[in-house]
Amino acid sequence: MSADIESEATSLKKTPLHALHQRLGAKMAGFAGYDMPIQYGLGILKEHLHTRAAAGLFDVSHMGQAWLTGADPAAALERMVPGDLQGLAPGRQRYTQFLNGKGGILDDLMVTRAGEPLGHEGLFVVVNAACKDADFARMETTLAGEAALERIEDRALVALQGPLAASVLSRFADGVDTMPFMSAMRVSVAGVDCLVSRSGYSGEDGYEISIPQNDAMGLSETLLGCAEVEAIGLGARDSLRLEAGLCLYGHDIDEGTTPLEAGLLWSIGKRRREQGGFPGAEIVQAQIRDGVARKRVGILPDGRAPAREGTEILSADGKPIGTVTSGGFGPSVGGPVAMGYVAADFAAAGTPVQLSVRGKLLPAAVQKLPFVEQRYYRG
């Protein structure tokens, strides 16, 4: 190992489960400043398929967790995001985005109104790992005097995902099997005080579990001791979310992309669409009214060659119309899948397109997202 590589490796942060990943033989790599497991012994393809068939446990402790408190933290945070947070009932969760003045997405996040179900009066906020320092600093500055941010540094975060996730977790925690999708509660899991939400990033049913740091190793080992559960790395997490049509910040959404272009209008409540009051509201409202020039779509390449991020998308007659933002092999689909942005006139499902892959034009078609059915628990 060269001195530069060794220095880079030792400078990476470690999650509370780092020793567990090493013991399980994970292939580790730097991600968002953390030394994270990319895959384990099964390999990405088998880890992906296992999550679709049974249950996978993911370490997502690199994400940013925080409490936001104040007289009305939901109203305060609405000045930064387009989601309807004031309309959230206690114990309910919502996906939204931080926007800039042009309606571009600075990050996406999950917000839960705590209340009695979580034993807290504030909002529980989870943001992306790569953006968390900037997100938290922006919240502290923007909301100063209205709401206070308390960064949560002493809890790990794991995701238990898959069709058997509820069966597994209900062995150790009462009431989790009947939790609605996008709800959260404070519950004892195998005797450990946890914050559990029924949510995830795989397209499958499942949970995200915030665990006291000192209990994270033991509880993770307990869950992995179940026959249905395998440890899953970030490689399969990426292929799972791609098949499910879910955006990855910095790739499918960024500061130059609006929620309307990204197909995220569903995340903006009716009241917020009408009243505005968030950064870039005029632009977002104009796009709701008039439409957008480009749209995020699924792309299904013919053959076996994957279309990676940055691949140019052309019309059937060779006109440049867009770019792939995420792409790779879809194990559940059994072939290559991709997402990207195309001119709105070419966004209809079934539209034939071409992909410029390694100097060759390969046939493909616009595909309605998601590529696989999203199987969230609806009750």
Pick 378 or 199 by higher pLDDT.
199
Q: What is the pLDDT of residues 110-121, one digit of tens each?
A: 999 999 999 999
Write out the two tokens for 305.
């060659």
Q: Same domain, yes or no, for 313 and 362?
A: yes
Residues whose CB falls within 8 Å of the CB of residue 75, separated by 6 or more in sequence, listed in order: 85, 86
User: What DSSP state is assigned to residue 372?
Assistant: S
How many structural domains are present in the chain?
2
Domain end, chosen from 273, 290, 307, is at 290
Q: Same domain, yes or no, for 263 and 279?
A: yes
Instruction: Look at residue 144 and tell me if it is in a domain.
Output: yes
Q: Please provide residue 153's backbone torsions phi and psi, each rounded to the nearest 5 degrees.
A: -105, -5
Q: Same domain, yes or no, for 126 and 88?
A: yes
Write out the two tokens for 209.
């579990």
Q: Same domain, yes or no, for 305 and 163?
A: no
Domain end, chosen from 235, 256, 290, is at 290
Q: Same domain, yes or no, for 150 and 299?
A: no
Helix (H) / strand (E) element for 61: namely none
Instruction: Look at residue 84 and tell me if it is in a domain.
Output: yes
Model's pTM, two decimal places? 0.95
Residue 10 predicted with pLDDT over 80: no
Instruction: Look at residue 374 and tell me if it is in a domain.
Output: no
Q: Same domain, yes or no, for 238 and 304?
A: no
Q: What is the pLDDT of residues 125-183, one digit of tens each?
A: 999 999 999 999 999 999 999 999 999 999 999 999 999 999 999 999 999 999 999 99
Instruction: Look at residue 304 and tell me if it is in a domain.
Output: yes
- On whether the CB atoms of residues 353 and 316 are closer than 8 A, the answer is yes
Q: What is the pLDDT of residues 220-248, one digit of tens each?
A: 999 999 999 999 999 999 999 999 999 99
Q: Same domain, yes or no, for 76 and 216?
A: yes
Q: Same domain, yes or no, for 142 and 185?
A: yes
Q: Report the pLDDT value the prediction gives residue 2, as an integer from 0 to 100.
A: 35
Q: Same domain, yes or no, for 193 and 279?
A: yes
CA distance 318 to 356: 10
CA distance 51 to 372: 13
Domain end, chosen from 234, 256, 290, is at 290
Q: Same domain, yes or no, for 283 and 207?
A: yes
Domain residues for 306?
293-367
Instruction: Look at residue 379 and tell me if it is in a domain.
Output: no
CATH at residue 336: 2.40.30.110
Write out the two tokens for 267.
């995340």
CATH at residue 137: 3.30.1360.120
Q: How many beta carbons lie within 10 A of that of residue 71, not counting itself?
A: 8
The single-letter code of the amino acid at 231 is A
Q: Same domain, yes or no, for 279 and 301?
A: no
Q: Report the pLDDT value the prediction gives residue 9, as an integer from 0 to 100.
A: 56
Instruction: Look at residue 284 and tell me if it is in a domain.
Output: yes
pLDDT band at 375 (very low <50, low <70, confident <90, very high): very high
Instruction: Look at residue 57 and tell me if it is in a domain.
Output: yes
Q: Same domain, yes or no, for 344 and 235?
A: no
Instruction: Look at residue 373 and tell me if it is in a domain.
Output: no
Question: 307 to each of 58, 304, 310, 327, how far by Cα in Å?
Answer: 26, 10, 8, 5
Q: What is the pLDDT of residues 204-213, one digit of tens each?
A: 999 999 999 9
